[in-house]
Amino acid sequence: MNNSTGCSANATVCNGASCVVAQNNFNDILSVVLSTVLTILLAMVMFSMGCNVEIKKFLGHIKRPWGICVGFLCQFGIMPLTGFILSVAFDILPLQAVVVLIMGCCPGGTASNILAYWVDGDMDLSISMTTCSTLLALGMMPLCLFIYTKMWVDSGTIVIPFDNIGTSLVALVVPVSIGMLVNHKWPQKAKIILKVGSITGAILIVLIAVVGGILYQSAWIIAPKLWIIGTLFPLAGYSLGFLLARISGQSWHRCRTVALETGMQNTQLCSTIVQLSFTQEELNVVFTFPLIYSIFQLAFAAIFLGIYVAYKKCYEKNNAEFPESKDNETVSESSLYKVNEGFQPDAK
């Protein structure tokens, strides 16, 4: 290439003093590679989570889906409504409001299954809720976005990647199903796989957050109101999910499960929808919001996990000193199931 015009040596098109330099797509390549690796790792982790799911109990949730219905109400009732209220309350730009609502309309993320294990939640309910919310998202996402975004934008401009939702569903159902089969056939080996997978899952959650921060560090300049909403939104999801589950008569471990399933959204799906629906100029204003939400949903989940672990240690200590208190709690716990006869106390 002739450099007499002052063009860069790697310029691809020159017209007088005007040059076009080939785009550096290193970040794009890195993103694809890391996305592939993380998807494989996530599938392995979900396989290990499936090793803690009993086929009989899982089918019990499907046949008597009271817990799933509560989760459905939280996922596609509370979260979109909360996103709408926050958008109106903070009077954000229409474009920003739409992105907040897209986040609220997304199904639950698979990270909730990993965290449900760490807080001694109901893994059978957690897996069934994530599976059902992802499946129902095929119809509920367009409906919720039509209802809540029409005051700001034509809902037809929002592109919902049904293929991505389908891929997420397959990536969840297949490894979990294999894990359930392993647990049914070889329960002792399943326990070992579960321990390894739970630790790997915790590391994976942190890794995803770090990688996201590195890849999109240039987009951290964002409206302060979105920072506040990104903080309050997951906190509201966890709190309202737990409250509704408790009001509906769910046991404590199921309340923790529903809370995590409600507040822990599929932020990767939200990012995909945002990229498909908006121009590059519009993306500069809102693209980082899914990452902000992801960071705070993980931060609050970590805080809740720390509180639960501390409580658990104190409870076990008190139980050792006052063993009669355990009998009193058993009576109290069983009374909750009279409110919700769809589920019976799990046999220990």
Q: State pLDDT tens for residues 311-342.
A: 888 877 777 666 554 445 444 444 433 433 33
Higher pLDDT, 128 or 223: 128
* 19 three-class SS: strand
CATH assignment of 25-316, among 2.30.40.10, 1.20.1530.20, 3.40.50.300, 1.25.40.10: 1.20.1530.20
179 touches 48 (CB < 8 A): yes
225 touches 90 (CB < 8 A): yes
Q: Which two tokens stand for residue 25?
A: 């797509």
Q: Which two tokens stand for residue 194?
A: 């579960």
Mean pLDDT value across the chain: 77
Q: Which of 103-112, 162-171, 212-221 has the lowest mean pLDDT?
A: 212-221
Question: How many CB atoms sit inside 10 A of residue 61's CB?
Answer: 24
* Region 151-159 average pLDDT: 73
298 touches 209 (CB < 8 A): yes
Using the predicted structure, report yes or no on whether residue 74 has a pLDDT greater than 50: yes
Total number of residues shown for the chain: 348
Question: What CA–CA distance (Å, rounded) separates 167 from 175?
Answer: 13
Question: How many CB atoms sit inside 10 A of residue 331's CB?
Answer: 8
- Per-residue pLDDT tens for 236-264? 999 999 999 999 988 999 999 999 999 99
pLDDT value for 56: 80
Question: What CA–CA distance (Å, rounded) separates 267 from 111?
Answer: 10
Question: How many CB atoms sit inside 10 A of residue 97's CB?
Answer: 24
In the DSSP assignment, the letter for residue 52 is T
- Per-residue pLDDT tens for 90-139? 988 888 898 999 999 988 877 888 888 889 888 888 888 888 888 888 88
* Region 151-175 average pLDDT: 76
Distance of CA 262 to the CA centre of its chain: 8
- Residue 345's pLDDT band (cuts 50, 70, 90): very low
Question: What CA–CA distance (Å, rounded) separates 74 from 240?
Answer: 8
- Residue 197's pLDDT band (cuts 50, 70, 90): confident
Which phi-psi region, left, alpha or beta, contains residue 44 (left: φ > 0; alpha: ψ -120 to 50)? alpha
Helix axes 123-149, 252-263, angle to 10 degrees: 40
Cα distance between the two ends of the chain: 76
Distance of CA 45 to the CA centre of its chain: 15
- Per-residue pLDDT tens for 15-46? 454 444 444 555 566 666 666 776 777 777 77
Percent of the chain whose pLDDT exceeds 90:
19
- Residue 343's pLDDT band (cuts 50, 70, 90): very low
Q: Report the run of H or E that residue 319 belongs to, with start and end.
A: helix 289-321
What is the reported pTM? 0.73
273 touches 159 (CB < 8 A): yes
Question: What CA–CA distance (Å, rounded) separates 147 from 135?
Answer: 20
48 touches 178 (CB < 8 A): no
259 touches 242 (CB < 8 A): yes
Using the predicted structure, report yes or no on whether residue 6 has a pLDDT greater than 70: no
Question: How many CB atoms sit inside 10 A of residue 95's CB?
Answer: 15
Percent of the chain whose pLDDT exceeds 70:
75
Q: Report the run of H or E that residue 329 belongs to, with start and end.
A: helix 324-339
